[in-house]
Structure 1
């Protein structure tokens, strides 16, 4: 399953509802990849495109973190080669994968401000044991265990692989040629402290859109929250998107 497959399936759903053009396609992270794919693959069907904290393709570092998460799942005996639905499943492996992923969503500054090197509230000194002693450890464990109850391990494998495979320019002779196909107005948004999808990747997309003569706006949100900021900086995003839409509001019909 690829990002292209996901967008093609979405296009069929839009066809089913008899919608010729979407007023806006917007998404963050992997959703931003899908928004970009929409604008390139279906240029006549997207009026506005707003990719948030995303990239046209993952860096080697991004692929590496996804690979570690997948290995944690597949190394769990509960994964059973993917056929685990009659059993408990790879609960430990999925929790570890989420812990690894969660680290990539936070910036060093966010982790320092939230945790620094503080021990758990019920602990005054080191125990010199392999248990969780630092607050950041218990935080990651909490989020890892919580993730297991609401997410499927095989889905995690397929989704991270889809992100790894995505390369917006691969099918069109390069990123510049791909973005030259688009007809939408663009608002590209990055986050200053996002090291997983750094601002430099967004600026590259902007540069290619400008070179193609496309209508593109760019904003970098100043935030200490890392990649997660696109989910947390609601007021800043709302202001940006409202101003962007105000320049080309939907028709009354």
Structure 2
């Protein structure tokens, strides 16, 4: 059951933009049952996440663990670190060399190196879900279940606009990580969430609004643990999700897979808005039967996929623990 962190060297990788990397280190963690003894679930991390998906410091420990929705007594859990995400010594300075599809290709190389024929599920939230969509478009038989949460198969103009602003802050601010995080928190939450949490209250010690001290705290906290180069790279990935970029439409690309697709949106998401997900679902339903749509009901916006575990548990039960669904 122990977490094992290992390294695969991806040799002579040429990015979509034509840049050759002679060696790309792909670090990964394994949890749960020993590889090749149980169904494999690949978990793709989001912008500031990493391969530590469960355990004491796991960012999705409420969802993945002993007796949890994704039970490490039943499955092998695999998680890759996006190369350059700051969780190993490898740094990518030229972040514009990479697109989301490049990371999907790297992850597929990783699966191949581990001799995994097919995963049981690929699950990811936000940019991690975007990588999952790209993986399915590149390798239609790579999984039985695709579970993209709070994401979509493409970055919308709204998403690209926010990523552009993030990039401007990251390249021009005197406190780039802190300031970019402050802006990002406005995208990750919602007006209703802030209203419920802060109620226009004042921090008496600092003589500022509590919302301001909370945003400043999140900026400072990220600055202490996150590299500027990693932020630039992950923001670039968020901006470049698009399975149709090199031609082909949704039906041509997704029509090749037999995988079940379980789209989970968040009704208050201001980042990957639910209407886009519903449009995706309705488009897929025209040519695919095993596609499903559900929404997390929350005031907390985009971050609800990290907060609303009971709802996620219920929505994912049909995939991961069908025999325990409560009617």
TM-score between the two structures when normalised by the length of structure 1: 0.84
In structure 2, the residue matched to 1:159 is 234
- Mapped to 2, the partners of 1:241 and 1:160 lie a distance apart of 28
Residue 27 of structure 1 pairs with residue 110 of structure 2:
no
Q: Displacement of 1:170 after TM fit?
A: 2.1
In structure 2, the residue matched to 1:74 is 171
Q: Displacement of 1:176 after TM fit?
A: 3.0
Q: Displacement of 1:200 after TM fit?
A: 0.9
Structure possessing the higher radius of gyration over alpha carbons:
1
In structure 2, the residue matched to 1:217 is 292
Equivalent position to 1:136, from 193, 211, 229: 211
Aligned 8 A contact 1:179 1:212 in 2: no
Equivalent position to 2:256, from 174, 181, 202: 181
In structure 2, the residue matched to 1:52 is 149
Q: Which runs of 5+ in 1 are unaligned?
A: 78-91, 124-131, 249-253
Q: Displacement of 1:66 after TM fit?
A: 1.7
- Higher normalized strand content (fraction of residues): 2
Aligned 8 A contact 2:267 2:301 in 1: yes
Q: Displacement of 1:179 after TM fit?
A: 2.0
- Mapped to 2, the partners of 1:59 and 1:116 lie a distance apart of 32
Q: Displacement of 1:111 after TM fit?
A: 0.5
Alignment of 1:67-146 (within 5 A): 67-76=164-173, 92-122=175-205, 133-146=208-221
Q: CA RMSD in A?
A: 1.7
Q: Displacement of 1:247 after TM fit?
A: 5.6
Aligned 8 A contact 2:129 2:151 in 1: yes
Q: Displacement of 1:60 after TM fit?
A: 2.1
Q: Displacement of 1:63 after TM fit?
A: 1.8
Aligned 8 A contact 1:25 1:38 in 2: no
In structure 2, the residue matched to 1:231 is 306
Aligned 8 A contact 1:106 1:228 in 2: yes
Residue 245 of structure 1 pairs with residue 245 of structure 2:
no
Residue 202 of structure 1 pairs with residue 274 of structure 2:
no
Secondary structure of the 1:190 match is: strand
Residue 6 of structure 1 pairs with residue 103 of structure 2:
yes
- Mapped to 2, the partners of 1:207 and 1:181 lie a distance apart of 17
- Mapped to 1, the partners of 2:150 and 2:121 lie a distance apart of 17
- Mapped to 2, the partners of 1:72 and 1:53 lie a distance apart of 24
- Mapped to 1, the partners of 2:288 and 2:170 lie a distance apart of 45
Secondary structure of the 1:23 match is: strand
- Mapped to 2, the partners of 1:121 and 1:235 lie a distance apart of 35
In structure 2, the CA distance between the partners of 1:134 and 1:16, relative to structure 1 (3 Å rule), is same
- Higher normalized helix content (fraction of residues): 1
TM-score between the two structures when normalised by the length of structure 2: 0.66
- Mapped to 1, the partners of 2:101 and 2:241 lie a distance apart of 8
With a CA cutoff of 8 Å and minimum separation of 6, indicate the structure with the bigger relative contact order: 1
Number of aligned positions between the proteins = 226
1:23-48 deviation per Cα after TM superposition (whole angstroms, max 9, x unaligned):
00000000110111122211112110
Q: Which runs of 5+ in 2 are unaligned?
A: 1-97
